[in-house]
Amino acid sequence: MIDIDEALRRFDEKAYAVRLVRGVSRVVPFAPELASWHSLVDGLSTLDPDARRPVLDHARELTADSGPQRALWLLGALDTADSGISVFSGVSTAVGLYSAERGERLDALETDTQQAVDATVKILALAASIHSLFPGNPLEKVRAFRETETGQILLFYVAAIEVGLPFADNLLQEGSGAVSTLWERFGPPQQERLSAIVSPEEVTGAVATLKQLLEPLDRMAETAKEHVKPLAQAAASYLPTIVDAGDKVAGVAATGADLLPVYRFLGARLVAETALRRAIAEGRTRDDDAQATTAAAVPIQYTRSADDLPDAPTPRRGCLLWPFVLVFGLLDWTALS
């Protein structure tokens, strides 16, 4: 089992993956911002400062469920070459970004089909992780995913860095969406590739979920096309110094080492945030139910409904003589005065 706090603690503000995501987000208008928290307790304090320990404990329990654990593994595997999902497009993208910063043209679709294939399988694996992590039908799953801050960042990063930037010259000139075009060209074989490591049900769910992701991914890739140069420059400024040596980069790609574990970082954040939001919502529901139960136990003394009025109280004996007593009392008092 993957411990969520251990996964989060691997990435502090100095980590290259964190700096890269934050750097590229800042250069595109309306891009989502990355909040600064790197533990479950800090995430809870950010999302709900008034939350208490039971909410934190419940969130930690939720991250241990099979769905969140599956999503953690799927997203983390995208950074590892020997996982069977991603080969080396993360490294290739980093090198491409660095080259773009120096003014070279990105023409990845024609020169590196493998990168296009890897981008496609990453999108499919992202859809599979959403399918595992969220309840409901594909539309509900994607809607819940997009309501999280980390989900918005993941969509932006995939669309901008994996598709919009390296394939801007190739795909976005064809009229159709960049991600949709990639899926049409390389999607079917990647279903078979994913089925080698996940169940047929997960593949089916991933494809159905992906169809709901295409439209927002296409829009974000189109936006990224207009910011190729600042994106490349921002990304290159946060790359490790290993990119400066081409032979070392080739060695990293060949051995499958992780250069920029962005998906491992964002995967941990997504699972943590999803569990925290669910624990907060369920905690508030329990509080509301408890308050309603307590209020229901209080006897009803007054009502405005004619349907449930209590029986009228029985008049006390002698109450009809009271006006006469009052009148005679007044007469006696007048006579005395």
In a domain, 303, yes or no: no
If we measure between CA atoms, which residue out of 179, 188, 193 comes closest to residue 207? Answer: 188
Q: Which residues are CB-neighbours of 276 under 8 A, at least 6 positions away? A: 40, 43, 44, 47, 48, 55, 59
pLDDT at 175: 55
Residues 32/149, Cβ–Cβ less than 8 Å: yes
In a domain, 106, yes or no: yes
Q: Which residues are CB-neighbours of 185 under 8 A, at least 6 positions away? A: 116, 120
Alpha-carbon torsion, ordered 262, 242, 22, 56, to 10 deg: 40
pLDDT at 169: 65
Q: Which residues are CB-neighbours of 91 under 8 A, at least 6 positions away? A: 249, 252, 253, 259, 260
In a domain, 171, yes or no: yes
Q: Which amino acid is at 261?
A: P
Angle between helix 228-237 and helix 89-101 axes, rounded to 10 deg: 110
Report the C-alpha gap between 77 and 88 in whole angstroms.
12
In a domain, 155, yes or no: yes
Alpha-carbon torsion, ordered 91, 264, 22, 160, to 10 deg: 60
Other Cβ atoms within 10 Å of 183 Cβ, number: 23
Query: Can you give 162-196 as a three-state secondary structure string?
Result: HHHCCCHHHHCCCCCCHHHHHHHHHHHHHHHHHHC
In the numeric block, which tokens belong to residue 278?
A: 């669910």
In a domain, 168, yes or no: yes
Report the C-alpha gap between 110 and 96 in whole angstroms.
13
DSSP for 28-41, written as a single string: STTPPPPP---SHH
Residues of the domain holding 115: 4-283
Number of domains in the chain: 1
pLDDT at 98: 59
Low-confidence ranges of the chain (pLDDT < 50): 81-82, 108-109, 111, 245-247, 249-257, 300-316, 318-328, 330-331, 333-337
Q: Which residues are CB-neighbours of 308 under 8 A, at least 6 positions away? A: 300
- Alpha-carbon dihedral sign for residues 237, 240, 244, 247: negative
pLDDT at 256: 44
Longest dimension (CA), the chain: 124
pLDDT at 211: 94
pTM of the model: 0.78
Other Cβ atoms within 10 Å of 193 Cβ, number: 17
In a domain, 105, yes or no: yes
In a domain, 295, yes or no: no
Report the C-alpha gap between 97 and 232 in whole angstroms.
5
pLDDT at 141: 97
In a domain, 129, yes or no: yes
pLDDT at 333: 44
If we measure between CA atoms, which residue out of 13, 5, 2, 20 comes closest to residue 258? Answer: 20
Q: What are the tens digits of pLDDT across the range 11-58?
A: 999 888 898 899 888 888 888 889 999 999 999 999 999 999 999 999
